Amino acid sequence: MNEKKAIRLELYQNLVNYKKPTSFQLKETYPLPPYSTVIGMIHNLCSFDEYVPMKVSIQGKYHSKINDLYTRYEFAGAAFEEGRHNIKIMNSEDEKYYGAIRGVSTAELLVGVKLLIHIVPENQKLIRFIYDSLKNPKEYMSLGRREDLAVIESINVVNIKKTLMDNSKKLDYDAYIPVSLFDKYSFKAKGTIYNLNKKYDKANIKKDVQIRKWEKIKVIHGVANMNEVYSEVETILDDYGNFVFLA
């Protein structure tokens, strides 16, 4: 890879949930935001109305994890039944009563999250536009749930390039490291493997019905101060000496 420009973004979040799509009773969280969440935030703040090809690197760390209670509403479109439903709703169109259930559920929250994100659009001419859109956002920045506000601690345009490591170096942050890089970089780790959503295409399954077909990235969750990249290995670094694991 020739030297490229990237947007280097440092964020802080107080309490946040990056929901795993397969969790329901307990709203579990990923340790870092998945690619689709980060790319979605970028597209929203840049007002892109179609997918703009880009690669991102996601790293970060958090202080602790807690469980929080929240109110959950369940609505299945069934007729209201006394004893089964605790909310009665009238449909103004058919004047029928439907039932809903209000209850309590639990969500995992990460506390004191610090993120290091690198953004590399395929079209390098978009660097300045994306930088300006993130530095002066049209609305408050959120990442995760809508209420999970993100504070920008720093934002810079940096150079990233392949570098031959002189010495072994441990990770400064937890990181999503694409498994595909293991063929190129000497990195040994025993960690959790995730199949993370990145982007989707709409596919027709029948008339007037579409579903999202996701492109998934298989990654390993590298752990800060434990996993390392070895010497004499070619990897990607930014101007600050931070690793960049693009996907």
pLDDT digits (tens, 9 = 90+) for 16-34: 999 999 888 899 999 999 9
> DSSP labels for 101-146?
EEEEEEEEEEEEEEEEEEEEESSGGGHHHHHHHHHS-SS--B-SST
Residue indicated by tokens 């690669």:
55
The domains located in the chain, with CATH, are 4-69+106-238 (3.30.70.2660), 70-105 (no CATH)
The β-bridge relationship of strands 26-27 and 97-121 is: parallel
Residue 189 has a pLDDT of: 59
Whole-angstrom distance, CA of residue 19 vs CA of residue 26: 10
DSSP state for residue 37 in the 8-state scheme: H
pLDDT for the residue 211: 85
Paired tokens of 181: 């890089």
Q: How much of the chain exceeds pLDDT 70, in percent?
A: 96
Look at 82-96, 169-183, 210-224 and tell me which has the smallest mean pLDDT.
82-96
Amino acid 195: pLDDT: 95
Q: How much is the pLDDT for 185?
A: 56
Whether residue 200 contacts residue 39, with contact meaning beta carbons closer than 8 Å, is answered with no
51-78 average pLDDT score: 92
168 or 231: which leads in pLDDT? 168
In one letter, which amino acid is 2? N
Residue 16: Cβ within 10 Å count: 24
- Residue 46 banded pLDDT, cuts 50, 70, 90: very high
The per-residue pLDDT for range 166-205, each reduced to its tens digit, is 888 889 999 999 988 875 555 555 678 999 999 988 888 8
Mean pLDDT, rounded, for 234-246:
93
Report the alpha-carbon distance of residue 120 to residue 168 in Å, rounded: 26
CA-nearest of 130, 129, 106, 107 to 118 is 130
User: What pLDDT shows up at residue 40?
Assistant: 96
CA dist 107 and 115 (Å) reads 21
What pLDDT was estimated at residue 186? 52
CA distance 145 to 148: 5
Could you count the other beta carbons within 10 Å of the beta carbon of residue 51? 11
d(CA 127, CA 64): 34
Distance of CA 20 to the CA centre of its chain: 10
CA angle 170-3-6, nearest 5°?
75
Spell out a b/e string for 217-239, using b for 16 or more CB atoms within 10 Å of the CB, else e. bebbbbbeeebbbeeebebbbbe
User: Mean pLDDT for the chain?
Assistant: 90
pTM of the model: 0.88
Structure confidence at residue 77 (pLDDT): 75
Give the tens place of pLDDT for each residue, 95-150.
788 888 888 889 999 999 999 999 999 999 999 999 999 999 999 999 999 999 99
